[in-house]
Amino acid sequence: MNRRESWRVDFFAAIERHRWHAFEWGAHDCSILTADAIEALTGEDLAQRFRGRYTTREEADELLRSFGFDSPIAVLATRFDEVHPSAAIVGDVAIVPTRWGPATAPIAGAEIVVFSPGGPLGLAPISEAVRAFRIEIREGA
């Protein structure tokens, strides 16, 4: 399945819903932002089982493990093909290093959308990505 017809408008609307919110585990964090962006493209909510069920990093990690995943990246890897960050396009997902470990971030052109420490969303150059995933559903997945 390819991206939905309205994916571009829906993608930027999903990002906009998080724009002025400070980072908050389970509501406005990297994984929820990324899941919202993916849902805009595909119609599938990868965070459905996780939303509102954690308020700390430890709770998020425990919840992921209870579903058989060791990280949000593992969730992406089960559903999407990995591409080199230089081949990533708008709507794909970047993996970026942070002081807390790797984080997911929607790609919005030459920049990726990230939560600023203690503040609202910000942008970082795509060159900060160490991995990337093409957001299209694999056939048969």
Domains of the chain and CATH, by start: 7-134 (3.90.1720.10)
Cα separation, 126 vs 115, whole angstroms:
15
Q: How confident is the model at residue 116 (pLDDT cuts 50, 70, 90)?
A: confident
What confidence score (pLDDT) does residue 138 get?
A: 57
pLDDT band, residue 141 (cuts 50/70/90): very low
Distances (CA, A) of 74 to 27, 109, 110, 121, 139: 20, 24, 24, 24, 19
Distances (CA, A) of 1 to 34, 52, 89, 132, 140: 19, 28, 17, 19, 9
Instruction: Evaluate whether 7 touches 1 at the Cβ level (below 8 Å).
Output: no
| pLDDT above 60 for 1 | no
Alpha-carbon distance 92 to 6, whole Å? 15
